[in-house]
A and B are shown apart, each in its own frame.
Chain A
Amino acid sequence: MIMKGQKRKLPPEDDEEVSDRSSPFWESQRQFVFSVSLNKYQRGQELPAPSLRRSVLIANTLRQVSMEACRAPSVDMEVSQPQCSSSSALQESFLTAAAIHQSSVMFANSHSALSGCPLVSLNYLSNCATNRSPASCHSGASNSPPSVKDDDEDWGSMSTDPDFSLSAAISSILSALDSTIDVSPQAAPRTPLRSLENLSAPSEGGAAWAKQGGRGYGGSWEQQEEYGPRESSVEVMRSSYLSDLTVEDLFQDIDTSLLERDMGVLGLLGNGGGYPAGDDLLRT
Chain B
Amino acid sequence: MEEESDTRKINNSFLRDHNYATEADIISTVEFNSSGELLATGDKGGRVVVFQREQESKSQPQRRGEYNVYSTFQSHEPEFDYLKSLEIEEKINKIKWLPQQNAAYFLLSTNDKTVKLWKISERDKRPEGYNLKDEDGRIRNPLTITSLRVPVLQPMDLMVEATARRVFSNAHTYHINSISVNSDLQTFISTDDLRVNLWNLEITDRSFNIVDIKPANMEELTEVITSAEFHPQQCHTFAYSSSKGSIRLCDMRQAALCDKHCKYFEEPEDPSTRSFFSEIISSISDVKFSHNGRYLMTRDYLTVKVWDLQMENKPLETYQVHDYLRGKLCSLYENDCIFDKFECVWNGSDSVIMTGSYNNFFRMFDRNTKRDVTLEASRENSKPRAILKPRKVCVGGKRRKDEISVDSLDFSKKILHTTWHPHENIIAVAATNNLYIFQDKVN
Query: Could you tell me which A residues sit within 8 Å of B by CB distance?
Result: 1-4, 6, 9, 11, 15-19, 29-30, 32-33, 36, 40, 48-49, 51-54, 56-57, 59-61, 64-65, 68, 107-110, 172, 175-176, 178-179, 181-185, 187, 273
* Residue from the list A1, A15, A53 in contact with B224, Cβ < 8 A: A53
CB-based contact A19/B279 at 8 Å: no
Query: Could you tell me which B residues sit within 8 Å of A by CB distance?
Result: 83-89, 112, 173-175, 177, 193-194, 217-224, 226, 243, 272-277, 279-280, 283, 326-331, 333-337, 339, 406-407, 409-412
CB-based contact A64/B279 at 8 Å: yes
Given A17-B275, A57-B283, A64-B279, does the pair A52, B328 have CB atoms closer than 8 Å?
no
* Residue from the list B86, B221, B272, B331 in contact with A1, Cβ < 8 A: B331
19 pairs of residues in contact across A and B, judged by CB atoms under 8 Å? A2-B331, A4-B412, A17-B327, A17-B329, A17-B330, A18-B275, A19-B274, A49-B87, A49-B88, A49-B89, A53-B177, A56-B222, A56-B223, A56-B243, A61-B276, A68-B276, A107-B85, A109-B83, A175-B217
User: Min CB distance, A170 to chain B, in Å?
Assistant: 13
Given A36-B334, A57-B243, A109-B86, does the pair A52, B193 have CB atoms closer than 8 Å?
yes
Q: Other CB < 8 Å A-B pairs besides A3-B335, A56-B243, 14 of them?
A: A1-B409, A1-B411, A3-B337, A4-B410, A17-B273, A17-B330, A33-B276, A36-B334, A49-B89, A56-B222, A56-B224, A68-B276, A183-B86, A185-B84
User: Min CB distance, B406 to chain A, in Å?
Assistant: 7
For B224, the chain A residues whose CB sits under 8 A away are 52-53, 56
For B221, the chain A residues whose CB sits under 8 A away are 56, 175, 178, 181
User: Min CB distance, A256 to chain B, in Å?
Assistant: 32
CB-based contact A110/B412 at 8 Å: no
For A29, the chain B residues whose CB sits under 8 A away are 276, 330
The residue on B at minimum CB distance from A9 is B334
CB-based contact B274/A52 at 8 Å: no
The residue on B at minimum CB distance from A32 is B330
Interchain residue pairs A-B with the least CB separation, the first 5: A175-B219, A48-B87, A182-B218, A52-B193, A1-B407
For A3, the chain B residues whose CB sits under 8 A away are 335, 337, 411-412
Q: Complex Cα distance A185/B83, Å?
A: 8
CB-based contact A52/B175 at 8 Å: yes
Q: Complex Cα distance A17/B146, Å?
A: 89
Q: Complex Cα distance A115/B410, Å?
A: 39
Given A3-B412, A175-B219, does the pair A48, B86 have CB atoms closer than 8 Å?
yes
CB-based contact A181/B218 at 8 Å: yes
CB-based contact B194/A52 at 8 Å: yes
Q: Complex Cα distance A281/B310, Å?
A: 58
User: Min CB distance, B213 to chain A, in Å?
Assistant: 11
For A178, the chain B residues whose CB sits under 8 A away are 218-219, 221
Q: Complex Cα distance A182/B173, Å?
A: 9
CB-based contact B243/A53 at 8 Å: yes
For A51, the chain B residues whose CB sits under 8 A away are 175
For B217, the chain A residues whose CB sits under 8 A away are 175
The residue on B at minimum CB distance from A105 is B85
